[in-house]
Amino acid sequence: MVRRSRRYQQSRQMVDHSRTYSLEEALEQLKSLARARFDETVECSVQLGIDPRHSEQQVRGSISLPHGTGKERTVAVFAEGEKAEAARQAGADYVGADELIEQVQNGFTDFDVALATPDIMGRMGRLGRYLGPRGLMPSPKSGTVRDDVAEAVAEFKAGRIEFRNDSGGNVHVPVGKLSFNTEALAENVRTLIDQLLRMKPPATKGKYLSKVCVCSTMNPAIQVNMG
Give the tens place of pLDDT for each residue, 192-217: 999 999 999 999 988 999 999 999 99
In a shared domain, residues 56 and 109:
no
In a shared domain, residues 136 and 165:
no
CA 30 from centre of chain: 20
For residue 33, give its domain range. 16-68+161-224
Query: How many structural domains are present in the chain?
Result: 2
Residue 97 burial class via C-beta count within 10 angstroms: exposed 0-12, middle 13-18, buried 19 and up: buried
Residue 148 is part of a domain; what is its CATH number? 3.40.50.790
CA 186 from centre of chain: 16
Residue 114's nearest CA partner among 76, 158, 171, 161 is: 76
Residue where a domain stops, chosen among 125, 158, 191: 158
Q: How many Cβ atoms are within 10 Å of 60's Cβ, its own excluded?
A: 15
pLDDT at residue 5, rounded to an integer: 63
In a shared domain, residues 125 and 178:
no
Contact 75, 115 (CB under 8 A): yes
d(CA 8, CA 195): 31
Residue where a domain stops, chosen among 128, 158, 188: 158
In a shared domain, residues 151 and 81:
yes
Q: Is 147 left (phi over 0), alpha (psi -120 to 50) or beta?
A: alpha
Amino acid, single-letter form, for residue 125: G
In a shared domain, residues 166 and 63:
yes
How much is the pTM? 0.74
In a shared domain, residues 131 and 82:
yes
d(CA 54, CA 38): 40
In a shared domain, residues 108 and 214:
no
Mean pLDDT, the chain, rounded, equals: 91
Residue where a domain stops, chosen among 158, 176, 203: 158
Q: How many Cβ atoms are within 10 Å of 149's Cβ, its own excluded?
A: 27
pLDDT at residue 220, rounded to an integer: 87
d(CA 80, CA 117): 9
Give the tens place of pLDDT for each residue, 138-193: 999 888 999 999 999 998 988 888 899 999 999 999 999 999 999 999 999 999 99
Residue 183 is part of a domain; what is its CATH number? 3.30.190.20
